C-alpha cells in the first residue's frame, strides 16, 4: 500500500491514456480485494480449547507428559491465552492498517482525477465501517485523521456536485452509526466531529436538504443524547466538547435546523454551560451583514434569542429547588422570549408581518414577569454558585458580542427585569457574602471544577464564588445600558464599605424578592 500511495499520483498524472486506464482497473480490483478481507484474523486461542492436548504451546514445542502439574497451573494457561489473543489482535491490527492505507490511496486516486461508481462508494464505506468497529472493539482506536482524510479526499474531490453530496451524506450516516455503537472507544482528541466540520468548511453542502437533515437527525441528536448521560466524564470535557461546539455552530450557521431544541434538553449544569453553551456564544457569528438574506439573519437572531434565554433560565432555576417548582417557574423565566421564538420561526416561511414587528418585544410581558417573582432560596448548594457563575459569564459574552442586536430588539428593559430576578434568587448568598481576598483568583477554578472546588473553611468554599458573581454583575451594569443601577446602588455602597450583612436600601420591607423599582422604558441607565 505504501508503494501504491507513491505511484498513483505519478502514474495517474501521465498523459498516456493506457496508463490511466491501467490505474483505474487496478484501483477497482483493489477495492474488491480489500472489501473481501475478513473482519478479524483467526484467533489462536482455539488451539488451547481441547483439554486432551494440554501440551501444545505457542512456539510448537512439546512438554513432557510427566509434568502435567505445570500445564494444570492456571497462570500458565492464562499466559498462553493472553499470548494467543495478543497475536490475534496484532494480526487484526495489521489488516486494519492495510485498510486505512488503502482508503488514503483511494482519496489520492480521486484527488488526481479518478472516478468511483456508486457501488464502489458503498464498498469503501463498508471498509471504513469495518475498520472502525475493529478498532473500537479492541480498544485500540488510533484517531480519526485517516477517516477525515478519506472523507475529504474522496467525497469532496468528486467533480460532480451531486455525487459529492451523495458521498458526504453516506459519510454522515456512517459517522452516526459509529457514534451510536462505539462512542466510548473513540479517541475524541483526534476529533471525529472534525470530519463533519471540515466538510462544512470545504463546501456549502447544507444547501442540500438531505445533508442538513442527516446532520441534525443522525449526528447532533445522537451526540447530545450521549452527552445527557455522560456529562460528568472528564474525557467529554477535555476533547469531546470542543469538537462538538464546532459542529453545532457549523449547523447553526449553515442550516435552518432548530438545534436549540436538543441543547435545551441538556442538564443545566456548570460543566455543560462552560464547555458547550459558553463556547457556542464565543463561536457563533453575529450576522449583521446587509448582504445576507432576511431568512439567514432571522435564523441567526433566533439563536441569539435562544442562547440568552437559556443562560437566564440557568440563573433563575436552582438545582436544589424541587422539580415541580422548577417546572412551574420555567414558564415565567422565559415568557419574554417564547413569543419572540414563535414569531421568529414564523419569519422563516413567507407570510404577512414586518421584520420589525417580529423582533420587537411587547412591554406588557415584563409586568407578568415581575408579578411571578419566586421567593429567595432557603437552601444553598455549592453547585448553584458554579451554575450561577457560568451563566453570568455567558451573559457577559452575549452582551459583548450581540449588543447591537439587543439594542435593535429594544429588550433592555425586559432583560433588566430578568437579570434582577436572577439576583433575587441568589439573594441569600449575596446578602451574607463577605468580600474575600481570594475571591477573584479562585472563581475560575471553581467554575471549571463544576462544583468540586476545595478550600479551607466552609465560608471560603461557599461565599467566594458569590463575591465574584456580585462583581461580575456590577461590571455588566457599568458597561451596558441595563437600567439596574438604581436597584443595586445600596448593594454597591455597602459592599465597598464592607458594612456587614448586606441589605440594599432600595429592597423594600419585603426583602430581595419583593422590591419594586420604577424601571424607565429608555435604554440608558437612570
331-353 mean pLDDT: 39
- The alpha helices in 320-449, defined as continuous H runs, are 323-333, 335-346, 355-359, 364-371, 382-401, 403-409, 412-425, 427-431, 439-448
Q: Would the pLDDT of 62 be above 70?
A: no
Question: Comparing 96-110, 355-369, 417-431, 439-453, which segment has the lowest mean pLDDT?
Answer: 355-369
Looking at residue 291, what is its pLDDT?
Answer: 60
Q: What are phi and psi of 500, to 5 degrees?
A: 90, -150
**H or E element at residue 319:** none
Please answer whether residues 483 and 524 qualify as being in contact, where contact means their C-beta atoms are separated by less than 8 angstroms: yes
209-226 mean pLDDT: 64
Looking at residue 15, what is its pLDDT?
Answer: 77
At 40, is the pLDDT very low, low, confident or very high (cuts 50, 70, 90)? very low
Whole-angstrom distance, CA of residue 156 vs CA of residue 89: 33
Please answer whether residues 489 and 502 qualify as being in contact, where contact means their C-beta atoms are separated by less than 8 angstroms: no
Looking at residue 366, what is its pLDDT?
Answer: 34
What separation, in Å, do the N-terminal and C-terminal C-alpha atoms of the chain show?
73
453-460 mean pLDDT: 38
Find the length of the chain.
Answer: 526
Q: Regarding predicted confidence, which is higher, 34 or 488?
A: 34
Q: Would the pLDDT of 516 be above 70?
A: no
Q: Which three cell numbers stand for residue 176?
A: 452516526
Q: Which three cell numbers stand for residue 230?
A: 455522560
**Which of 161-175, 325-339, 354-368 holds the top average pLDDT?**
161-175
Does the reported pTM lie above 0.75? no
Looking at residue 24, what is its pLDDT?
Answer: 87
Q: Which three cell numbers stand for residue 304?
A: 441569539
What contacts 91, CB < 8 A, 6 or more positions away? 41, 42
Q: CB pairs under 8 A, 24+ apart, for 55-61? A: 58/83, 58/84, 58/87
DSSP letter for each residue of 121-178: HHHHHHHHHHHHHHHHHTT----SHHHHHHIIIIITT-SSHHHHHHHHHHHHHHHHHH
At 156, is the pLDDT very low, low, confident or very high (cuts 50, 70, 90)? low
Looking at residue 124, what is its pLDDT?
Answer: 78
Q: Would the pLDDT of 21 be above 80?
A: yes
Looking at residue 353, what is its pLDDT?
Answer: 39
> Which residue from 500, 516, 520 is spatially nearest to 508, judged by alpha carbons?
516
At 435, is the pLDDT very low, low, confident or very high (cuts 50, 70, 90)? very low
- Rounded to 5°, the CA angle 349-350-353 comes to 110
Domain ranges for the chain, please list them.
Answer: 1-47+72-228, 413-514
Looking at residue 192, what is its pLDDT?
Answer: 56
Report pLDDT digits (tens) over 176-211. Answer: 566 555 555 454 434 456 556 555 555 545 455 556
Question: Comparing 90-94, 134-138, 205-209, 505-509, which segment has the lowest mean pLDDT?
Answer: 505-509
Whole-angstrom distance, CA of residue 435 vs CA of residue 362: 39
Task: State the residue for C-alpha cell 464546532.
Answer: 246
Q: Regarding predicted confidence, which is higher, 184 or 114?
A: 114
What contacts 325, CB < 8 A, 6 or more positions away? 374
Looking at residue 289, what is its pLDDT?
Answer: 63
At 341, is the pLDDT very low, low, confident or very high (cuts 50, 70, 90)? very low
Looking at residue 466, what is its pLDDT?
Answer: 52
Round the average pLDDT of the chain to a whole number and report it.
Answer: 57
Q: Regarding predicted confidence, which is higher, 274 or 164?
A: 274
Q: Which three cell numbers stand for residue 334?
A: 422565559
At 457, is the pLDDT very low, low, confident or very high (cuts 50, 70, 90)? very low
**H or E element at residue 185:** none
Question: Comparing 7-21, 48-62, 179-193, which segment has the lowest mean pLDDT?
Answer: 48-62
Whole-angstrom CA distances from 15 to 12, 139, 192 are 8, 45, 38
Looking at residue 481, what is its pLDDT?
Answer: 52
Looking at residue 347, what is its pLDDT?
Answer: 35
Looking at residue 450, what is its pLDDT?
Answer: 34
Burial (CB count <10 Å: 0-12, 13-18, 19+), residue 144 = buried
At 101, is the pLDDT very low, low, confident or very high (cuts 50, 70, 90)? confident
Q: Would the pLDDT of 367 be above 80?
A: no
Amino acid at each position: 500500500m505504501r508503494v501504491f500511495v507513491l505511484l498513483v499520483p505519478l502514474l495517474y498524472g501521465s498523459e498516456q491514456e493506457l496508463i490511466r486506464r491501467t490505474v483505474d482497473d487496478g484501483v477497482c480490483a483493489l477495492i474488491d480485494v480489500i472489501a473481501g478481507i475478513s473482519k478479524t484474523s483467526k484467533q489462536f486461542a482455539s488451539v488451547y480449547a481441547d483439554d486432551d492436548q494440554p501440551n501444545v504451546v505457542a512456539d510448537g514445542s512439546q512438554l513432557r507428559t510427566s509434568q502435567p502439574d505445570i500445564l494444570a497451573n492456571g497462570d500458565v494457561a492464562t499466559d498462553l491465552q493472553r499470548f494467543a489473543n495478543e497475536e490475534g489482535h496484532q494480526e487484526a491490527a495489521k489488516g486494519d492498517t492495510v485498510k486505512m492505507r488503502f482508503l488514503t490511496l483511494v482519496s489520492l486516486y480521486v484527488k488526481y482525477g479518478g472516478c468511483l461508481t456508486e457501488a464502489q462508494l458503498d464498498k469503501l464505506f463498508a471498509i471504513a465501517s469495518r475498520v472502525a468497529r475493529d478498532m473500537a472493539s479492541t480498544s485500540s482506536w488510533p484517531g480519526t485523521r485517516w477517516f477525515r482524510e478519506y472523507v475529504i479526499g474522496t467525497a469532496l474531490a468528486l467533480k460532480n456536485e451531486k455525487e459529492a453530496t451523495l458521498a458526504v451524506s453516506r459519510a454522515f450516516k456512517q459517522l452516526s452509526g459509529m457514534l451510536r455503537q462505539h462512542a466510548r472507544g473513540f479517541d475524541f482528541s483526534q476529533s471525529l466531529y472534525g470530519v463533519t466540520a471540515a466538510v462544512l468548511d470545504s463546501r456549502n453542502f447544507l444547501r442540500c436538504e438531505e445533508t442538513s437533515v442527516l446532520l441534525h437527525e443522525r449526528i447532533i441528536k445522537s451526540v447530545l443524547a450521549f452527552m445527557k448521560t455522560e456529562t460528568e466524564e472528564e474525557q467529554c470535557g477535555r476533547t469531546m466538547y470542543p469538537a462538538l461546539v464546532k459542529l453545532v455552530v457549523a449547523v447553526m450557521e449553515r442550516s435552518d435546523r432548530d438545534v436549540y431544541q436538543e441543547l435545551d434538553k441538556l442538564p443545566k449544569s456548570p460543566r455543560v454551560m462552560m464547555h458547550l453553551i459558553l463556547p457556542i456564544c464565543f463561536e457563533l457569528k453575529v450576522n449583521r451583514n446587509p448582504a445576507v438574506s432576511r431568512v439567514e439573519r432571522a435564523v441567526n437572531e433566533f439563536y441569539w434569542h435562544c442562547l440568552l434565554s437559556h443562560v437566564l433560565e440557568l440563573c433563575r432555576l436552582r438545582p436544589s429547588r424541587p422539580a415541580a417548582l422548577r417546572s412551574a417557574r420555567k414558564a415565567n423565566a422565559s415568557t419574554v422570549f417564547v413569543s419572540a421564538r414563535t414569531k421568529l420561526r414564523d419569519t422563516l416561511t413567507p407570510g404577512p408581518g414586518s421584520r420589525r414587528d417580529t423582533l420587537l418585544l411587547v412591554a406588557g410581558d415584563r409586568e407578568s414577569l415581575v408579578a411571578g417573582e419566586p421567593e429567595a432560596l432557603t437552601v444553598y448548594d455549592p453547585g448553584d454558585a458554579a451554575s450561577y457563575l457560568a451563566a453570568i459569564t455567558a451573559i457577559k459574552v452575549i452582551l459583548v458580542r450581540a449588543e447591537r442586536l439587543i439594542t435593535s430588539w429594544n429588550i433592555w428593559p425586559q432583560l433588566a427585569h430578568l437579570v434582577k430576578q436572577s439576583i433575587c434568587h441568589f439573594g441569600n448568598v449575596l446578602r451574607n457574602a463577605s468580600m474575600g481576598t481570594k475571591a477573584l483568583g479562585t472563581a475560575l477554578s471553581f467554575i471549571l471544577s463544576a462544583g468540586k472546588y476545595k478550600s479551607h473553611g466552609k465560608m471560603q468554599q461557599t461565599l467566594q464564588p458569590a463575591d465574584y458573581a456580585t462583581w461580575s454583575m456590577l461590571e455588566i451594569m457599568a458597561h451596558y445600558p441595563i437600567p439596574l443601577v438604581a436597584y443595586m446602588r445600596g448593594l454597591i455602597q455597602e459592599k465597598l464599605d464592607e458594612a456587614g450583612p448586606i441589605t440594599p436600601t432600595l429592597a423594600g420591607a419585603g426583602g430581595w424578592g419583593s422590591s419594586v423599582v420604577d424601571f424607565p422604558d429608555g435604554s440608558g441607565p437612570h
